[in-house]
Structure formats: C-alpha cells, structure tokens
C-alpha cells in the first residue's frame, strides 16, 4: 500500500543509471537482468527486465527476447528448487490500460504460487499478506543466482 498510495518517485525504477534498487538485483546478464519485486503479489515474485529503457515488446532485439525467455526459464527453475511452489503466474502487462504499474519500461513478472496463497483479505479488505519479507526471500534466492551459469 505504501507504493500504491504514495507519491511515485522521479526516474525509472528499472534503469541502472536512475533509481533502481540494486539491493534487489539477483542476476545481470548481457541485455537483461532479474530483480525482486519490491512490492510482490506473493513471496518470490521476480521480474526479468531488459537493461534498455523501452516501453514496447516490439522494440526488443532478438538478443533481448532470447535472454528474457532464458532468464524466465532459469528463474522458474531456481524458484522451484528454493521455494517449492505448486505453480506460477508468468506474464507482462503492456501499457497502463493492461495494468502496468510502470508502463515506460517493459518487464516480465514471475510469481510463484501455492494452493491457498490468496484469501478473502485481498478481495474484501484491499490487503495482501506476504509471509516473508522481500529481503529475506532475496537472501534465500541470491545464492542460486550467484551459481547460475551465464545464459
């Protein structure tokens, strides 16, 4: 709620030379990187992001498309090993009308899911429960990404 109700920061939260939170970055490839979502839908919510500040999937190069998919695959594998989820939501919200919170810089969501991980509070109370702090989850996942072979 802090982010949703608060004043949005100036700059891009995904660009290295702007206001990106480097403490949440898990892996940097050649054209894309993996970062924890600071305001996750569920524990382990990751984002795969191109380094270039682009707002349309059509602007991605072949290298960026390939690395987005490769990092998605590696991230899912790591989440399976580290957190044992029962499923995943994976996708992109392209444009504000599609629900993109940051529509100026494309990013791919990877959300691990467990049976029963949502409840009535989200629907009636406009509240979400996250069982683990994002920095604790980062500490669990970081060693897996540090030992990941280059994609």
Task: Supply the residues annotated as catalytic.
Answer: 107
Which two tokens mark 48?
């795969």
- Choose among 78, 88, 98: nearest CA to 34: 78
HSE toward the beta carbon, residue 13, CA cutoff 13 A: 17
Contacts of 69 (CB under 8 A, 6+ apart): none
Which two tokens mark 26?
């898990």
The residue assigned the tokens 């897996």 is: 144
Question: Cα–Cα distance between 40 and 46 in angstroms, integer?
Answer: 8
């Amino acid at each position: 709620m802090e982010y949703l109700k608060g004043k949005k920061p100036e700059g891009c939260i995904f660009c290295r030379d702007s206001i990106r939170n480097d403490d949440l970055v898990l892996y940097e490839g050649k054209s894309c990187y993996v970062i924890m979502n600071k305001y996750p839908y569920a524990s382990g919510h990751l984002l795969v992001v191109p380094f270039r500040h682009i707002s349309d999937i059509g602007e991605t190069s072949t290298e960026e498309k390939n690395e987005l998919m490769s990092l998605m695959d590696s991230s899912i594998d790591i989440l399976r090993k580290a957190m044992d989820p029962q499923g995943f939501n994976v996708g992109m919200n392209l444009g504000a009308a599609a629900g993109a919170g940051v529509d100026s810089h494309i990013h791919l969501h990877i959300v691990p899911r467990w049976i029963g991980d949502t409840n009535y509070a989200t629907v009636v109370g406009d509240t979400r429960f996250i069982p683990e702090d994002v920095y604790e989850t980062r500490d669990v996942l970081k060693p897996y990404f540090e030992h990941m072979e280059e994609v």
